[in-house]
Structure formats: structure tokens, C-alpha cells
Amino acid sequence: MADRQLLKELTEAFGPSGYETEPAAILVRELSRVGEVTRDGLGSVICRVAGRSERPRVMISAHMDEVGFLVKAVTGDGYVRFLPIGGWWPQVLLGQRVVLRTRKGDFTGVIGSKPPHELTDEERKKLPDINTMFMDFGCRDGLDLVKETGLRRGDPVVPVCPFSEMAGGLLMAKAWDDRGGCGMLVELARRLGKGRFPGTLFLVGSAQEEVGLRGARTAAEVVKPDVALALDVSLCGEYPDRSRKDVEERLGNGAAILVHDMSMIPNTRLRDFAIGAAESAKARFHLTTVRGGYDTGAIHLTGGGVPSLAVGWPTRYIHSHTGIVAEEDYDSVVGLTAAVIERLDAAAAESIRSF
């Protein structure tokens, strides 16, 4: 069972790319109870947990950052122009609440644009343009905004969405991508503990994934893994008018083993090893592809090449203010990953790495 209080704390933490202080502090607090925690030069959290031997060195990565925004400019009439951090679809932004963090504290605002009543016929035919949007923090003019908030160019902004348990038992929050994966790192540390697996385990909360898989690359240079897995969201394909039989990626369908994404083709021996481990552990899973990338896209290119595999969990409405997930899928990813770690001894790692 997932630790819902931990997931609430992680998803509600403030932490867009480059500003991961809050989620990092949670990971440091939790992982320090099991292993030796260090930080790399980009701020990624690296927890070394000793197993029964030094090899293989197994890296499990989940990124700490969420999609968000940066303050670009302040208008004379008190609005904020902003830059997106990570991939946003403009149509999910209008009317949504946000939190600005400055040296003076946190301030709640909303994303606005020209009212629909004032749009021309030509403008109505087009998708909203993020460059025409602005943030409103309730100030009368630019000087008032700067005075009240202490705002400076480059200050970070994140979406607002409290963690909620929904009527059907699903969980709703912002930043499942990838605070859910961060929660899985903690669950794995608690489940496996010290000395209960063959090699040495490195649990990594990576920085700046949403802007180019940056922390995963630097952390992998520190860890020098023999094998690596990334835990992250996958794209839930269920929505009205689409037949369930045509949708493999849906809530309740278990862990998603990525057979292809835009940043990596996985090591096929590791993929098959993970499938076998999942079947032995009776962890529910399915195979899928994603038009996107995971931490493994950077990790697998470090050193002389690292056999890598991405594992996801179906998530509705990613890269928006609100995501919805099923707890049983979260548990399936933890179970599958634990089964891989417990079975991945030196001989298995050598077989995976041999071509």
C-alpha cells in the first residue's frame, strides 16, 4: 500500500526545474534512514544502500522537478509575463491558479488572457497562444506588485492542486510527474533495506528532468551504474468514446514497461529480465511506447553505455495542473522494481551487459 501522507507531501511540495529544494529535502529526510545520502553538482539526491556485495551497481532514478513557470517581465499595469518550464499545452492554462515564490514568500495568482468576448472571429479559430497569457497576483500596477511581493525576474511559479482522494478511490494531485516516482524510491528503500539484495543500490532523485534530463546525466556520472531503471509517469490513453479494448495504457492496468520512447530503445536483455521478475513476483504489468523521454535517455549514454529500462505508471492529464492515478498501479511499479533489484546479481548483470 502506498504511503498517502508521503505522496501528499511530495506532490504538494514546491519544486519546478532548478528549484527542487522542497522535494529534495523530503527525499533526504526519508532516504537517510536507510542509506548514505549525497548530492551532486546539479542538486540531485543520491542514496547509496549497501547490499550483499559491491556489484552490480543498480541505479533507480525518479526526477524531483515538476513543470512550472518563471517570471519573465512585469507589465506597468501589474501583470506578469512568464516563461514555461517544461512542456505545456496552452489550452490547459487559462483560469488556473498558481503560486509565485519570491524572497518575501508565496503569493497566489491566476493565469489570464483576453476575455473570449473580445476575441476577433479569426482569433476564435486558433488555439490559445501562451505568449499572450499573463499572471494576475491581485496588484493594481507594476510598482505595487514588486513592492508587495518582492518579485524579481526569474522567480519560479508552480500550479496549485491539493492532494485529494477521489470518490472512485483514485488519487488527484499536481506533480505526479514525477513525485510519484520519488515516493517509489522511498517505498523501495523501506521495503528492501540494507543487505537484502545482491548488489549495491543507488536511489536517485534527479534534478531538471523536464528541461532536458540534466540531473540524470550528472548523477549517472557520479554513480557509474552497471544497470539503471527510471520510474516515471506513462500516458494514460483512456478517454470518452475510445474503446477499452483499444487502450492498453489505462488506470488499473499495472506497471508500464517501456519498449520504446523518444530518448531510448531499452536494453532487450534487461527488458526481458524485468518481465520475468514481474511475472515471478506476480506484479501486474504491460508493455507500451511513449512519445517522450525518461531519465534513462540520459543515463544509458553515460560512460561506455549503461543497460537501461524505463518503467511507468498510467497517469491522466500529465503536464497540466491536475493528474489522476490509481494506487494499485503505483504498487505494481514498486513491486516490479523490487523484484528486479532482488534478482539482479553479478551474473545476471554480466549477462545483460554482454553483447
pLDDT at 237: 75
| Domains of the chain, CATH where assigned | 4-66+174-353 (3.40.630.10), 68-159 (2.40.30.40)
Render pLDDT for 257-304 as a digit per residue (tens, 0 to 9): 999 999 999 999 999 999 999 999 999 999 999 988 999 999 999 999
Is 232 flagged in the annotation as binding?
Answer: yes
Is 106 flagged in the annotation as binding?
Answer: no
Render pLDDT for 226-238 as a digit per residue (tens, 0 to 9): 999 999 999 887 7
Render pLDDT for 9-57 as a digit per residue (tens, 0 to 9): 999 999 999 999 999 999 999 999 999 999 999 999 999 999 999 999 9
The x, y and z cell numbers of residue 141, run together, are 500596477
The x, y and z cell numbers of residue 251, run together, are 488506470
pLDDT at 309: 98
Question: Mutual orientation of helices 176-192 and 21-31 as an angle, nearest 10°?
Answer: 10
Is 177 flagged in the annotation as binding?
Answer: yes
Alpha carbon distance 73, 60 (integer Å): 38
φ/ψ (deg, to 5) at 162: -65, 150
Which residues belong to the active site? 209
Task: Indicate the DSSP class of residue 288.
Answer: E
Secondary structure class of 186 (helix, strand, coil): helix
